[in-house]
Structure 1
């Protein structure tokens, strides 16, 4: 095994083609966040973005995107916003995590949403959760029929609210891939306001996230795209979603809606329209990420897939120092996540803080 660490922009056409073929050969690696397109876009907005090209005698057998930080510490590429991480590889590949990190110049590598079936990292997992997946390979009508069986009240309520929104406001329409940059800006404003209400960090407060999503929104190819899906009532935008897709899989990333229409649950209506449109172009699944008790994700769920977080550490002084800095904080976080009562209390506290912060800005 040979490892050559390069910047994403240095990937050649043959390497990109090999990367795509690896994703096609292993459907669990087809996530858009594991695509060369996301990696290249991250390289354009983050100076620490790197790719380890893993080769054997007959060519590339794997690609390992990562961020290089100071002191030999690395992280998953775009980990603050990425919902799928790991090594993209040929079927049956075997790697040694210690050797891989050493060749990358890393003593530590942190991951937060590791894709399934990465045995070389499994010993370093510290938390395992389930991501929600919607399956519609048989088309939208079949998906809706199955959804009615699993979640009849959810479907009945959502379709009723769509009809009521149409009666109260005007005709309901939707578009799967909106190219207009002003509507994309509107979606980001809705999402930033939602983060503030919930007391969560605003992803779009960081300029590199805005630049990254704008770059991805501009991409529209058969293999990869960043579609902005919008829902309209009487021609007015009321909900939307910005995500990524490959030719077979879409990821739920930034959903948001106009709070003036909250009583109609426009985000749920938008999701159903988006699934219908995605199915028509050949996309067969939508990954909504970790549920975290979300009622709408649980209602829509066809199946779940495991995702993990953890830290790979080599035996080194730098890795030991990193452990001393981070281990206590991670223990507290894990303790809270493992306790529904503590997690609920923390969630309510953040929402109260968000309401107070929003109220203070309004005054």
Structure 2
């Protein structure tokens, strides 16, 4: 087995074709965050982005996208925004995690949303959660019937608010894949304001994230696209979402809405319309990401898929130093996640901090 580390821009047509073949051969690897398009786009905005091309005598058998930072500390590529991570590989391929890190010049590799089935990383997993999946494989009507059985009160309330929004604010229309740059900027401004209200770091406060999503939004091919979905009342945008899709799955990434319409829950209406649009486009499912603490995700879900978090460390001094710096923080975070009371208290504290920050800014 041979491992060559290159920059994403150095991937050639043969490598990209092999990458796609691997994704098609194993459906769980078909996530857009594991696509060559996402890796190449990250390479254009992140100087630390790399790809390990894992080959045998007859060609590549796997691709491992990652970021290499100072001190041999590695991270999943685009880790701050990525919702799916791991090695893309042909069925039956096996890897040694420590040997892979050594070839990549890493003492440590951290992951936060590991795709299921990566057995070589499983021993290093410290937290397992579930990603929320909406099953659209039998069409939107079938999904809606299942939702009515699972979450009747949620569906009834959401549809009532949808009708009321239409009566009060004007006719509702929806566009699954809008190309308007101004509306994309509007969605990002809504999302930034939401992050601030919640006391969370603003993803769009980082120029590289803005450049990344703009690059991804410009791609529209059968295998990969960055659709901007928008919900309108009387032609006025009231909610939207930017995500990534492959030819089978849509990933929920950046949903937001105009706070002026908050009492109508336009974000929930948007999610139902988006599921309908995804099914009409021939997609089999929607992945809304980890559902911990999110009532609306739990209401919408058809099933869950395992998502792992953890850290691979080689037997080296650099890895030992990283363990001493980071393990106490990880353990404290997991303790909070495992306790509903503590998780709720932490969430409320972050929201109070966000409201205080907004008041201070307004002075």
Q: Kindly indicate whether residue 204 of structure 2 is the aligned counterpart of residue 204 of structure 1.
A: yes
Partner of 2:79: 79
Specify the SS of the correspondent of 1:4.
strand
Partners of 1:158 and 1:18 lie apart in 2 by 44
Aligned to 2:64: 64
Q: TM-score, normalised by structure 2?
A: 0.99
Q: Secondary structure at the match of 1:318?
A: helix
Give the Cα separation in 2 of the matches to 1:308 and 1:314. 19
Structure 2: segments with no counterpart, 5+ residues:
none
RMSD: 0.7
* Matching of residues 293-332 of structure 1 within 5 Å: 293-332=293-332
CA distance in 1, matches of 2:117, 2:74: 21
Any idea what SS the aligned residue of 1:50 has? Answer: strand
Matched, 1:255 2:255: yes
SS, match of residue 287 in structure 2 = strand
Deviates more, 1:286-295 or 1:336-345: 336-345
Equivalent residue of 1:304, what SS? strand
Q: Give the 3-state SS of the residue equivalent to 1:223 in structure 2.
A: coil
Q: Which residue in 1 is equivalent to 2:110?
A: 110
Alpha-carbon offset, residue 229 of structure 1: 0.1
2:153 is aligned to 153
Describe the SS at the equivalent of 1:177.
strand
- Per-residue CA deviations over 1:328-351 (Å, capped at 9, x if unaligned) read 111211121122111111111100
The whole-number CA distance in structure 1 between the counterparts of 2:304 and 2:362 is 40
Instruction: Compute the displacement of 1:281 (Å).
Output: 1.5
Q: Does residue 338 in structure 1 map to residue 338 in structure 2?
A: yes
Aligned residue pairs, count: 363
Equivalent residue runs for 1:15-94 within 5 Å: 15-94=15-94
Q: Distance in 1 between matches of 2:7 and 2:276?
A: 37
Could you list the per-position Cα deviations for residues 204-243 of structure 1 after superposition, in whole angstroms to 9, with x for gaps in the alignment? 1111000000100111000000000000000000000000
Q: What is the CA-CA distance between 1:153 and the residue it aligns to?
A: 1.0
Report the alpha carbon displacement of residue 155 of structure 1 after superposing the two structures with TM: 1.1
Q: What residue number does 1:359 align with? A: 359
TM-score normalised by length of structure 1: 0.99
Whole-angstrom distance in 2 between the partners of 1:148 and 1:125 = 36
State the Cα deviation string for residues 90-115 of structure 1 (Å, max 9, x = none). 01110001111111111100001100
Q: Partner of 2:292: helix, strand, or coil?
A: coil
Alpha-carbon shift at residue 261 of structure 1 (Å): 0.2
The whole-number CA distance in structure 1 between the counterparts of 2:278 and 2:17 is 24
SS of 2:330 mapped into structure 1: helix
Q: Partner of 1:264 in structure 2?
A: 264
SS state of the match for residue 185, structure 1?
A: helix
Distance 1:161 1:257 in 2: 14
Q: CA deviation at 1:278?
A: 1.1
Q: Shift in Å at residue 154 of structure 1? A: 1.1
Q: Give the Cα separation in 2 of the matches to 1:46 and 1:358.
A: 31
Within 2, Cα distance between the matches of 1:143 and 1:172? 21
Partner of 1:13: 13
Equivalences for 1:163-202 in 2 at 5 Å?
163-202=163-202
User: SS at 2:177's partner residue?
Assistant: coil
Query: What is the CA distance between 1:87 and its match in structure 2?
Result: 0.3
CA distance in 2, matches of 1:227, 1:98: 37
Q: 1:169 and 1:206 mapped to 2: Cα distance?
A: 34
Give the equivalent residue in structure 2 for 1:143.
143
Aligned to 1:350, what secondary structure does the other structure show? helix
SS at match of 2:240: strand
CA deviation profile, 1:137-188 (whole Å, cap 9, x unmatched): 1111111111111111111111111111111010000001111111000000
Q: Distance in 1 between matches of 2:249 and 2:285?
A: 5
